[in-house]
């Protein structure tokens, strides 16, 4: 059975959203690697006692990794029923992680809130996932 017969016609947009998220994660990881060299923070040390900017760069990546699995689940559930809406919301969330990181990279943790608009994308796919669940249960 071909994958095209299993997935919604516009699920390709969701796949491109996943690819975009991969680029974002790799970018954040590379930034941490560069900061390790710049600030002399050796593996396996997670945080520096001396370099606040390194800690901000590390936290931007770590925080994204902490929420990423949940986002993937809700993104996928939502995209199976609402591929275009989920993809738009996914792009909002992924883009917000760049804004979040760039704010954090300033060394002022309060500037990470520049990425707060990402909650639109995250809560959006959560709401769409709830809709899918209610449809499956015959409530909607």
Q: Where are the domains of the chain?
A: 10-133
How far is Cα 28 from Cα 58, in angstroms, rounded to an integer? 9
Q: Above 90 in pLDDT, residue 140?
A: no
| Residue 135, token pair as written in the block | 């449809």
pTM across the whole model: 0.94
**Cα 86 to the center of its chain, rounded Å:** 13
How far is Cα 79 from Cα 84, in angstroms, rounded to an integer? 7
Encode pLDDT of 51-101 as tens digits.
Answer: 999 999 999 999 999 999 999 999 999 999 999 999 999 999 999 999 999
| Residue 78, token pair as written in the block | 């939502």
Q: Above 90 in pLDDT, residue 4?
A: no
Share of the chain above pLDDT 70, in %: 99
Give SS3 for 107: coil
How much is the average pLDDT of 127-133?
98
Least Cα distance to 86 among 140, 2, 28, 12 occurs for 12
pLDDT at 2: 83
ω into residue 44 within 30 of 0, thus cis? yes
- CATH architecture designation of domain 10-133: Up-down Bundle (1.20)
């Amino acid at each position: 059975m071909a994958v095209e017969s299993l997935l919604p016609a516009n699920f390709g947009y969701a796949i491109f959203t996943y690819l975009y998220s991969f680029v974002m994660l790799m970018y954040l990881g590379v930034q941490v690697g560069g900061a390790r060299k710049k600030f002399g923070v050796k593996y396996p040390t997670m945080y520096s006692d001396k370099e606040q900017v390194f800690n901000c760069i590390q936290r931007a990546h770590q925080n994204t990794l902490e929420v990423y699995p949940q986002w993937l689940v809700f993104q996928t559930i939502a995209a199976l029923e609402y591929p275009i809406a989920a993809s738009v919301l996914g792009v909002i969330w992924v883009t917000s992680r760049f804004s979040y990181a760039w704010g954090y990279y300033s060394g002022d943790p309060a500037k990470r809130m520049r990425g707060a608009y990402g909650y639109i994308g995250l809560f959006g796919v959560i709401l769409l996932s709830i809709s899918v669940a209610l449809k499956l249960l015959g409530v909607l």
